[in-house]
Amino acid sequence: MKKETNKKGTMKKNILVKFDIIAGEYEHSDNWIFDKKMSEYQYCKTFWGLTEKNELKKNVFWDNWESNAIKVHSQKEITNEQAKTLNELGVA
């Protein structure tokens, strides 16, 4: 089995991150697979395109317009096969 590497030549990881999102009065969760371990803020920044760190409270971040909020609910390293399955199903 071929081992995948990222741009820096290190082993590619599959980190499944579940986000909790508050958009107005609506609460939603979403999943995304990242290829490396990061801080909770970096996951939110990458997922939502945040331009600056603006915390509503500890590890809960405003969007760029301070109208919606996002936080990391959970994160877990998964296998390449699990990542492929989740992508095929449109879950992450």
Contact 87/19 with Cβ under 8 angstroms? no
- Per the structure, how many domains does the chain have? 1
- On whether residue 64 sits in a domain, the answer given is yes
- On whether residue 83 sits in a domain, the answer given is yes
pLDDT in tens, the chain (92 residues): 344 554 555 678 999 999 999 998 999 999 999 999 999 999 999 999 999 999 999 999 999 999 999 999 999 999 999 999 999 998 88
Alpha carbons 49 and 22: distance in angstroms, whole number = 16
Q: Which domain holds residue 46?
A: 15-89
- On whether residue 10 sits in a domain, the answer given is no
- On whether residue 33 sits in a domain, the answer given is yes
- On whether residue 3 sits in a domain, the answer given is no
